[in-house]
Amino acid sequence: MTTPILSTSMTTPELSPGASSGRVAVTVCTAAMISLAIAMGVGRFAFTPLFPLMVRDGLLNSEAGALLAASNYLGYLVGALVASRIRVKSATLLALGLISTVVVTAAVGWTSSVPNWAILRFAAGVMSAWTLVATSAWGLGWLASFGRPHLAGVMFAGVGLGIAAAGMFCLVVAGTEVTSLKMWVKLAFLASIVALFPLAVSRRLPVHIVGTGTSVPHSSSRNPPAKTGGLIVCYSLFGFGYILPATYLPTLARGLVDDPQVFGWAWPLFGMAAALSTVFVSWRLQRTNQLSVWAASHFLMAIGVLLPSIWASLISVAIAALLVGGTFMVITMLAMQEARARAEGDATVVLGQMTAGFAFGQLMGPVASAAIGRFTTDYSTALNYALELSAAGLLLSAFYLWREVRRHNFRHNFH
C-alpha cells in the first residue's frame, strides 16, 4: 500500500500546441494508472499471492517469508525518503522505476537463495516507491493543469487493479506443472509489455522539475504542526494494521483449502475492492465529511483484520479481503488530503512525516508477528495474536478520528 509523496506544486506540465485537453487527460490518467499497477501490484504485492505457492514448492517457510516481506517494506521506506531528494525529471524517475521493477521481479525467478531474494525484494521496494512518487508528481501535475483533479481517484485505482491482476495471474497460471520461480519470470515479462504504454506516454508528455526558486515557500518550522500529530499516529497505525492481512490473506486461505483455484481468489478480491472503492469515494467525497469517512474506514478495516483470527473459514477470509481491500486505498487518499489541508506553510514536511509513519508501521507488522511467534506454540497462533493487535490499533485510531469530527462540529456550531 502505498503513500505517495506529492510534489505537484514544484512541477510545470509542458502542453503540446493544440492538444485536446480531454484526450490528453485520459491518456495521462490511463498511463499513470498502469504505472501504479506495476509499481504496487508487481513491485510491492506480487509476493503476497506467490508466497503460498513458494511454500508449496518447498522454497520458503513462514520465517523466511516474514524476512522477505519486511525487506520489501524497508526498501519502500528508504525509496520514499530518497525519491523526494532526487532532482531529475519525474518522467525519468518513472521510467527508471518501472524498468528496474521488471528486472528485479524477473531476477527472483533466477535464484533460489533467501539472502538474494531479500536483496531483490528490498530493491523492488525502493523502485516501487520511486515509481509511485514519480507517477504521482507526473500524473497529478497534468490533471491539475486541465482542472480535472477528480480523475486522481481513477489514477490511484491502478494500485487495486495491479493487485487484482497479480492475483488473477497466479490464479490462472498456478499449477503443479508450473513452479513459483517460473511464475516470477512470467509475471515480469507481462509487466514489461504493459509498461511500454506509460513509458511511451511519459516520454512524450514529460513534466520537468523546476528549480527551488519557484517552489512554494517553506514553513519557518521544519516540524509538522502540532495539530497533525494525531493524524500521523493514526496513519502509522493504519500501516501497521493493514499490512498483515495484505501480506497473508492468500496464506490464510491456503490453510483452509489447498486448491490454488480456491484460495487464490482472496487476493483478486482484495485488489478489485481497492480499485472500485477508490473510484467511488473520489466521486462522492464532496458530499460527505472527509474525516468521518476516514474514521469509518479504519473501523471497517479493523473488522476485516480481526475476522480471520476469530472465525477460520473461507467466508471470513473473503469478507476480510473485501473490507481491508475496500478501505486501504481510500484511507491513503483521505489521510493525505486531510494532512495537506491542515498543513501550515509547506505541506511536504507533513506528508514526509505521514509517509515515514506509514512505512514504519507496515514494517513493524511482520516484525511483531515474528516476535509473538517466539512466545507461541505455532505460526497460526502468532499470526492471530498479531491480527488482533493490529485491529486494536485501528479501532483506537478510529475513535480518535471520530473525536476529531465531534470537536470540529462543536467548534463550527459554537461559532
At 96, which amino acid appears?
Answer: L
Residues in Cβ contact with 206 at an 8 Å cutoff, skipping those fewer than 6 apart = 14, 89, 90, 91, 138
pLDDT, tens digit (0-9, with 9 covering 90-100), for 256-277: 666 665 666 777 888 888 888 8
pTM: predicted TM-score of the whole model, two decimal places: 0.77
Cell numbers that stand for 159 in this block: 494500485
Sequence spans of domains, the chain: 22-210, 226-407
CATH number of 22-210: 1.20.1250.20
- Angular region, 147: left φ>0, alpha ψ -120 to 50, beta rest: left
Query: Coil, strand, or helix at residue 216?
Result: coil
Q: What percent of the chain has pLDDT above 90? A: 30
CA dist list (Å): 114 to 42, 65, 248: 19, 9, 19
Position 391 confidence tier, pLDDT thresholds 50, 70, 90 = very high
How confident is the model over 200-209, as a mean pLDDT?
76
Query: Contact 351/10 with Cβ under 8 angstroms?
Result: no
Query: Contact 126/247 with Cβ under 8 angstroms?
Result: no
pLDDT, tens digit (0-9, with 9 covering 90-100), for 9-64: 334 444 444 446 778 888 999 999 999 999 999 998 899 889 888 988 899 887 78
Q: What residue spans of 195-313 are helical by DSSP H?
A: 196-204, 229-256, 260-263, 266-284, 290-310
Position 352 confidence tier, pLDDT thresholds 50, 70, 90 = low
Q: Do domains 22-210 and 226-407 have the same CATH topology?
A: yes
What span, in angstroms and rounded, lies between the C-alpha atoms of 110 and 358? Answer: 32
CATH number of 226-407: 1.20.1250.20
Q: Which of 40, 151, 141 is nearest to 90 (CA)?
A: 141
Q: Which of 323, 297, 153, 162 is nearest to 237 (CA)?
A: 297
